[in-house]
């Protein structure tokens, strides 16, 4: 997502969800494909302000805060923060999984296209407020079929839902539900209340323990694209010894 109101651009690419996304990653890694890539772009998303690499440390080196500050000082913010776009996911299934991985609540908006688009526009102010920016995930135009599978048929109709993902992001629990025409003040209050409860009652995941538990329970996450990395850039996923071709967990 390109946001020209901010100093520079942050894009989160869903690397294994489409071939198009993988081509974007390859474009930043000289044809290679790895599961992370980092580069700072200009506000219009066209100019690379740093070299591209696997992560910020490799791309910027040294003091990250100092490097980021130096770049940001060259690009003053235009417009207002409360008019910035609200982040979205291509589908509810992925949104639920990423929300679980990031340990955030997920706000799902379902309904007629025009009504959902109106909610997305109205939500800019609260999603970019100091209290909520970066603290929850959002999914607009969630598939009713995916909602029914993850949350149950009773939670698949039109409305705005605050969803608590399960440990492995395959199902979820509705913490609160509001009508599609809810006021933004009521929605913000509901999200803040749910997030406070979530923060106070949720234990932080330990990556190694989490992966081990998933394997023991046979939890699998199948993606549209073959899982793995192409480090030599020959267009074929590399498989290290012992990895096999197994679904990502």
176 close to 118: Cβ distance less than 8 angstroms? no
Percentage of the chain modeled with pLDDT above 90: 57
Q: Which helix (H) or strand (E) holds 157?
A: none
For residue 113, the model assigns a pLDDT of 94
What are the chain's domains?
A: 19-80 (no CATH), 82-201 (3.40.30)
Q: Average pLDDT of 56-69?
A: 87
Alpha helical stretches, state H, the chain: 19-28, 56-60, 64-72, 92-102, 113-122, 124-127, 144-151, 184-201, 207-216
**Tokens 């979530």 -> residue:** 198
Share of the chain above pLDDT 70, in %: 91
* Distance in angstroms (rounded) separating the CA atoms of residues 228 and 31: 15
**Confidence bin at 9 (pLDDT 50/70/90):** low
> Alpha-carbon distance 67 to 61, whole Å?
8
Q: In the prediction, which pLDDT does 126 show?
A: 95
What's the pLDDT score for residue 10? 58
Q: Which residues contact 24 (CB under 8 A, 6 or more apart)?
A: 13
Q: How many Cβ atoms sit within 10 Å of the Cβ of residue 113? A: 9
Write out pLDDT tens, residues 173-191. 999 999 999 999 999 999 9
The closest of 73, 64, 3, 4 to 38, measured between CA atoms, is 64
Rounded Cα distance, 195 and 173, in Å = 13
pTM above 0.85, yes or no: no
User: What does DSSP assign to residue 6?
Assistant: S
pLDDT in tens, 116-168: 999 999 999 999 999 999 999 999 988 889 999 999 999 999 999 999 999 99
What would the two tokens of residue 225 be?
């694209």
């Amino acid at each position: 997502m390109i946001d020209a109101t901010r100093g520079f651009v942050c894009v989160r690419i869903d690397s294994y969800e489409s071939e198009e996304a993988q081509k974007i990653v390859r474009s930043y890694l000289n044809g290679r494909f790895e599961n992370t890539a980092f580069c700072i772009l200009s506000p219009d998303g066209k100019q690379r302000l740093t070299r591209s690499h696997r992560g910020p440390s490799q791309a910027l080196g040294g003091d990250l805060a100092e490097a980021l500050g130096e770049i940001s000082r060259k690009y003053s913010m235009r417009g207002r923060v409360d008019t910035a776009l609200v982040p979205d996911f291509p589908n509810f299934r992925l949104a639920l999984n990423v929300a679980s991985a990031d340990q955030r609540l997920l706000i799902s908006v379902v309904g007629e296209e025009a009504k959902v688009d109106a909610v997305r526009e109205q939500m800019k102010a609260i999603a970019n407020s100091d209290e909520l920016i970066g603290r929850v995930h959002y999914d607009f135009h969630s598939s009713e079929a995916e909602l029914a599978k993850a949350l149950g048929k009773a939670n698949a109709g039109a409305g705005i839902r605050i969803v608590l993902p399960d440990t492995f992001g395959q199902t979820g629990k509705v913490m609160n539900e509001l009508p599609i025409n809810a006021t933004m003040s009521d929605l913000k209050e509901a999200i803040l209340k749910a997030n406070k409860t979530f923060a106070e009652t949720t234990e932080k995941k330990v990556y190694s323990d989490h992966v081990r538990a998933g394997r023991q329970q046979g939890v699998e996450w199948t993606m549209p694209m073959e899982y793995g990395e192409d480090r030599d850039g020959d267009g074929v996923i590399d498989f290290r010894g012992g990895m096999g071709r197994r679904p990502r967990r």
